[in-house]
Chain A
Amino acid sequence: MSDLDSNQNRRSFLKYLLSTSVVGFLASVLYPIVSYLNPPKQNEVEVSSVLAGKISDFEKDSGKIIRFGNKPVLVIRTEKDEFKAMSAVCTHLDCTVQYKKEMGLIWCACHNGKYDLNGKNVSGPPPRPLDMYQVNKQGDNIFVSKKA
Chain B
Amino acid sequence: MKKLFKSAYDYLDERLHLEDLVHFMGKKYVPVHSHSIWYYFGGVSLFFFIVQVVTGILLLFYYKAGPDLAFESIQYIMSKVQFGWLIRSVHGWAANLFILSAVIHMFSVYFEKAYRKPRELTWITGMLMLFLGMGFGFSGYLLPWNELAFFATKVGSDIAGAVPIVGEPIKILMRGGPDVTGATLSRLFGFHVALFPGIFTVVLGLHLLLIQRQGISEPMHFAHLPQKEKKTMPFFPNFLLRDLLLWLVMLNILAILAVFFPAELGHKADAFGSAPAGIKPEWYFLFMFQSLKYLPAHILFIEGEVLGILLFGAAFALWLIVPFWDRKTARGEQNKLITYIGIFVIMFIIVLTILGWVA
Residues of A within 8 A of B (CB): 37-39, 42, 65-67, 70, 72, 88, 90, 92-98, 108-112, 121, 124-127
| Least CB distance, B332 to chain A, in whole angstroms | 42
Which residues from chain A contact B226 at a C-beta distance below 8 Å?
A: none
Contact, CB under 8 Å: A39 / B176: yes
Given A39-B177, A111-B292, verify A94-B274 contact (CB < 8 Å): no
Q: Is the CB of A109 within 8 A of B276?
A: yes
17 A-B residue pairs with Cβ-Cβ distance under 8 Å, sorted by A, are A42-B177, A65-B273, A65-B274, A70-B179, A72-B272, A93-B159, A94-B157, A95-B154, A96-B151, A96-B274, A97-B275, A108-B275, A111-B292, A124-B297, A125-B304, A127-B297, A127-B304
Within the complex, the shortest CB–CB distance from A16 to chain B, in Å, comes to 32
What's the minimum C-beta distance from A40 to chain B, rounded to whole angstroms?
9
Q: Could you tell me if B274 and A88 are in contact, using CB atoms closer than 8 angstroms? A: yes
Considering the chains assembled together, what is the distance between the CA atoms of A111 and B292 in angstroms?
A: 9
Residues of A within 8 A of B297 (CB): 121, 124-127
The 10 A-B pairs at the shortest CB distance, nearest first, are namely A98-B274, A94-B158, A95-B275, A109-B275, A93-B158, A127-B297, A93-B155, A94-B154, A109-B277, A39-B176
In the assembled complex, B164 has its CB within 8 A of some CB on chain A: no
Taken together as a complex, chains A and B put the C-alpha atoms of A47 and B277 apart, in Å, by 30
Residues of B within 8 A of A (CB): 151, 154-155, 157-159, 172-173, 176-177, 179-180, 183, 271-279, 292-293, 295-298, 303-305
Query: Chain B's nearest CB lies how many Å from the CB of A46?
Result: 15
Contacts of B275 in A (CB 8 A): 90, 95-98, 108-110
A-side contacts of B293, CB under 8 Å: 111-112, 125
A94 near B155: Cβ-Cβ < 8 Å: yes
Given A110-B279, A111-B292, 6 other A-B residues pairs in contact with their CB atoms under 8 A: A65-B272, A88-B274, A90-B275, A93-B154, A94-B180, A111-B293
| Complex contacts, A110 vs chain B, CB 8 Å | 151, 155, 275, 279
**Closest partner residue, chain A, to B274 (CB atom):** A98
Most B-side CB within 10 Å, residue of A88, A92, A93, A96: A93
Question: In angstroms, how far is the closest chain A Cβ from the Cβ of B189?
Answer: 15
Measured CB to CB, the nearest residue on chain A to B183 is A39
Contacts of A126 in B (CB 8 A): 297
Known: A38-B172, A109-B278, A109-B279. A125 touches B292 (CB 8 A): yes
- Nearest-neighbour CB distance to chain A for B194, whole angstroms, equals 14
Measured in the bound complex, the distance between the Cα atoms of B171 and A37 in whole Å is: 12
